Structure 1
Amino acid sequence: MSRKSWLEKFLDWLYPPRCGVCHRFSDDPICQDCKSKWVLVSRPYCLWCGKPFDPQAKTSPLCGMCLQRRYRFDYARSAVIYDGVGRETVHAFKFNRKPRLAQPMGELMAEVAVRVFEGDGGLLPLPWHRPDVIAPVPLHPKTQRQRGYNQAALLAEVVGQAIGVPVEPNLLLQIRPMKPQATLGEKERWENVKGAFGVANPESVRGRIVLVVDDVMTTGSTLNEVAKVLKKAGARFVYCLTFARTVSM
């Protein structure tokens, strides 16, 4: 760990660092109390899209969504449940200008990725191959200017550094503005993303294994649309990794 410069120490004294979620004093982007309240995605979950199941319910290896509709991505996994402090973390990171939260969020996502690379405890029906490149889900330029950063790109950088896979932040493009997905119902979400994404250079994708990174997976409509354009461009496999996962929609 690098030592802080005198200027950094002075600024810490003048403006003591705080937890990005609860705002209590903390040297870390998120305090240990808040971090301990993240509810991790644990078994049982859908082997395809990673959606958590009710532990008390008898289920098939796939969720109802995966039994009804074949997603275009090959696998998807998430780190925490999008509820409680998990939800508060995403909101602080995404809407309250707390980009430092990308570090602990991305580190946990990387742990999930490594677990899946190793076979997810022998559960995967097909292997999850090590990706050639990581691509964050893009924002429309107008949205990114308003927010100041693309939260998915920040997470992708942390994940890429942790697992040693290069990140190509401009591999994917959002070619038209969309309504905020959070304001829409399930059916509207699927319509909202149609034709919204493109691949900047299809030749750079052909035959490669792409890991797509985003902050939250709800219906999977955004990730599915991104996977669709990547597969059309010739990607060999498309995997998806998010920090949080909505359990019900």
Structure 2
Amino acid sequence: MHWHQRRVTRLAAVAVWLDGVLQRPTTVRLLGAGRDFWSLVLPTECAACTSPAVTLCPECLARVRAATVRPFRADGGADALPAAEGYEGGPGDPTDIDVLPVTAAGHYRGTVSRLLLSYKNRRRTDVGRPLQAALAGALQTAVHGIRKRGEQGMILLVPVPSRGASMRRRGYDPLGLLLAGLDRRGELPAGCHVAALVVYRGALTGGPSVLASRARPVSQKGLGGSQRRTNVHATMALRPGRCLPPGAVCLVIDDVLTTGATIAEVTRVLRHAGAIVAGAAVVAATPAPSRSR
């Protein structure tokens, strides 16, 4: 037997043994006692319902899984999304997609929204795993759709960048952590690679900025589709030193879809660099505040 096969066999045997140890009643009791001890030393609560002494209670975990088990097309109400790549159809033409297709793992409401808010704004990075699983499902569905349309090459997963102020306030990039975890566990769709190609212009140093004469963009909350699109237009650029091969296929990744203005800005940057943006994927989608389309 080849040495590599022997090594894989040994690792598999160790994994089976370890799994058996963890399932023993004595081990389960010891682990439970350990959790109870640490809940006294470092009190915690469910990130979604605030139940005590647990990171994410079984009921909330079950709700999140049920709410994100069937990814769906979420671009119907996002009125700031750009046109789909190569769209040439017209009104009533069922053979073409008039806007960039966006796949969401779930709806931004209930337990899903509370979990996302805790993860992003309360530094609850300990609940990232269920969100990673939800995003993985949306990625698999989105990539499957791209493959069905004939694209069989490498697909670049391009995350929406975090603002510098948000990074400094949180101390981490929520979307980057989710994608890094999926990449580390080998749970990204086959033939896909994470590529942080886009940054906010405020993060660039040296050289003139097209935003020099513009006011700092305000918060997106409460703005309609056209207002959000205007608010973020030209606020992003290709990361310095990065170049894309002509025709590179990209999938834009975000955490929450509202009007699609941020996804539209990332798409603008990538298309200007010569890339093909085939769609987007998000953890959750919320109804857009404006449906002027």
Alignment partner of 1:181: what SS?
Answer: coil
Q: Say yes or no: does 1:95 pair with 2:121.
A: yes
The residue that corresponds to 1:79 in the other structure is: 105
CA contact (8 A) 1:134 1:210 kept: yes
Distance (Å, rounded) in 1 between the aligned partners of 2:167 and 2:245: 24
Which of 218, 224, 239 is matched with 1:179 structurally? Answer: 218
The residue that corresponds to 1:132 in the other structure is: 155
Which of 154, 162, 170 is matched with 2:187 structurally? Answer: 162
Superposed CA RMSD in Å reads 3.4
Moved more, 108-117 or 211-220: 108-117
Alignment partner of 1:203: what SS?
Answer: coil
Q: Say yes or no: does 1:19 pair with 2:19.
A: no
Q: Give the partner amino acid of 1:236.
A: I
TM-score, length-scaled by structure 2: 0.64
Q: Say yes or no: does 1:194 pair with 2:233.
A: yes
CA contact (8 A) 1:21 1:30 kept: yes
Change (3 A) 1:193 1:182: same
Distance (Å, rounded) in 1 between the aligned partners of 2:77 and 2:112: 24
TM-score, length-scaled by structure 1: 0.74
The residue that corresponds to 2:131 in the other structure is: 105
Report the count of equivalent residues. 225
1:240 Cα shift? 1.3
Distance (Å, rounded) in 1 between the aligned partners of 2:264 and 2:61: 29
Distance (Å, rounded) in 2 between the aligned partners of 1:86 and 1:128: 32
Q: Give the partner amino acid of 2:273.
A: A
Structure 1 alignment gaps of length 5 or more: 52-62
Q: Give the partner amino acid of 1:142.
A: A
The residue that corresponds to 1:209 in the other structure is: 249
Distance (Å, rounded) in 1 between the aligned partners of 2:175 and 2:279: 15
CA contact (8 A) 1:80 1:245 kept: yes
CA contact (8 A) 1:107 1:158 kept: no
- Percent identical residues: 23
The residue that corresponds to 1:70 in the other structure is: 83
The residue that corresponds to 2:277 in the other structure is: 237
Change (3 A) 1:246 1:37: same
Structure 2 alignment gaps of length 5 or more: 1-14, 23-30, 86-98, 203-215
CA contact (8 A) 2:46 2:53 kept: yes
1:17 Cα shift? 5.2
1:208 Cα shift? 2.1
CA contact (8 A) 1:116 1:128 kept: no
Alignment partner of 1:78: what SS?
Answer: strand
1:159 Cα shift? 3.7
Q: Give the partner amino acid of 2:143.
A: F
Q: Give the partner amino acid of 1:81.
A: H
1:113 Cα shift? 1.9
Change (3 A) 1:206 1:151: farther
Distance (Å, rounded) in 2 between the aligned partners of 1:101 and 1:196: 31
Q: Give the partner amino acid of 2:187.
A: A
Q: Say yes or no: does 1:37 pair with 2:63.
A: yes
Distance (Å, rounded) in 1 between the aligned partners of 2:277 and 2:152: 8
Q: Say yes or no: does 1:220 pair with 2:260.
A: yes
